[in-house]
Amino acid sequence: MKLNQIVFNGLLLFASSSVAYSQTITTVAGVVGSPGYGGDAGPANNARFNQPRAVATDNDNNLYIADGYGNKRVLIADAETGKYIGHFGAYGQNPVQDDPSTGAESGEGVGPWAADFRRGEMKPKFFRSPLHCARVSSDGLLYACDRGNNRVQVFKAAEVGKPCANPAGEIGKCGFVGEIHVAPQTASGTSGTLNFSSDPAQSCAYVADLANDTIYVINRQNFQEMDRFGTAGRQIGQFHWPHVVSVDSDGNVYTGEVDSAGRVQKFLRYGPAGCSGTGNEAVGAY
């Protein structure tokens, strides 16, 4: 779903056969019905979003909003007060460098990533639409799914959001830790969403590739592919546009598909709960 408002909001009604109860939710960030770009450095509920895609929180109660299809940035706010904290783009840069493509090459279209790849340009200085996820691990790393550039960028959550320039994409600058190129030979759309394994270190990242209909298991320590599961199709264990991945406390993986698939599948964990050792440095190689 594409939203122009991030809400914990309005009146949410829960019901079962015998019990119904309500919970009041408060708007934390965004202006209802006013997509755009603006409101930085003011209250987060005055910020303008353009089709944000995902929200994450950390242990310090900070809110990270992947703003998403239109603005291609991560905005940070205090989840309790709604106070604006900061924002950043690719490689932790603030001000954000925007995607220069327009017209048919913008939005959710394939866009110019394939041309970049053919030229050997593996480090676009901007998030390319859509910035499709934000997820914070237990060790304080923020993962941003730059779906339009077939990569996941990783940051130290405590070091991003402030004014900072990193045009060369240097590791250790502007909170930037590194990036995972996910099946970069694909036209676009491989790094749609991710989640972490259930072991205490959250040592695995599960990355859903909605272009190649596969889930990759990646060692978070070295960014190498340890395993993968799923192929394109409509049968059990296959995927059509996997859009969501989640993990329960037992390490079982749940996937959600969109478009005409419209289903959730559960995959049981066998073997170790975490990732260790080396695998394939070329994540998504075919």
Residue 213 pLDDT: 97
Residue 130: cis peptide before it, omega within 30 degrees of 0? yes
What is the band of 260 on the pLDDT scale with cuts at 50, 70, 90?
A: confident
Residue 57 contacts residue 129 (beta carbons within 8 Å): no
What is the band of 264 on the pLDDT scale with cuts at 50, 70, 90?
A: very high
Residue 90 contacts residue 73 (beta carbons within 8 Å): no
Identify the residue with better confidence: 105 or 29.
29
CA dist., res. 83 & res. 266, Å (int): 38
Residue 29 pLDDT: 56
pLDDT digits (tens, 9 = 90+) for 129-160: 899 999 999 999 999 999 999 999 999 999 99
pLDDT digits (tens, 9 = 90+) for 69-127: 878 899 999 988 888 899 999 999 999 887 776 443 444 444 589 999 999 999 999 99
Which residues are paired to 73 by β-bridges?
A: 67
Residue 45 contacts residue 29 (beta carbons within 8 Å): yes
Lowest mean pLDDT: which of 97-111, 154-168, 174-188? 97-111
**Mean pLDDT value across the chain:** 85
Residue 188 pLDDT: 86
Residue 106 pLDDT: 46
- Helix (H) or strand (E) segment spanning residue 115: helix 113-119
Backbone angles phi, psi at 74, to 5 degrees: -110, 125
CA separation, residue 211 to residues 45, 133, 233, 261, 285 (Å): 34, 16, 12, 14, 13
- Whether the predicted pLDDT of 10 surpasses 50: no
Domains of the chain: 50-267 (2.130.10.10)
CA dist., res. 216 & res. 214, Å (int): 6
Which residues are paired to 143 by β-bridges?
A: 135, 154
Q: What is the pTM (predicted TM-score) of this model?
A: 0.85
Token pair listed for 22:
């309500």
CA dist., res. 286 & res. 270, Å (int): 25
Identify the residue with better confidence: 14 or 155.
155
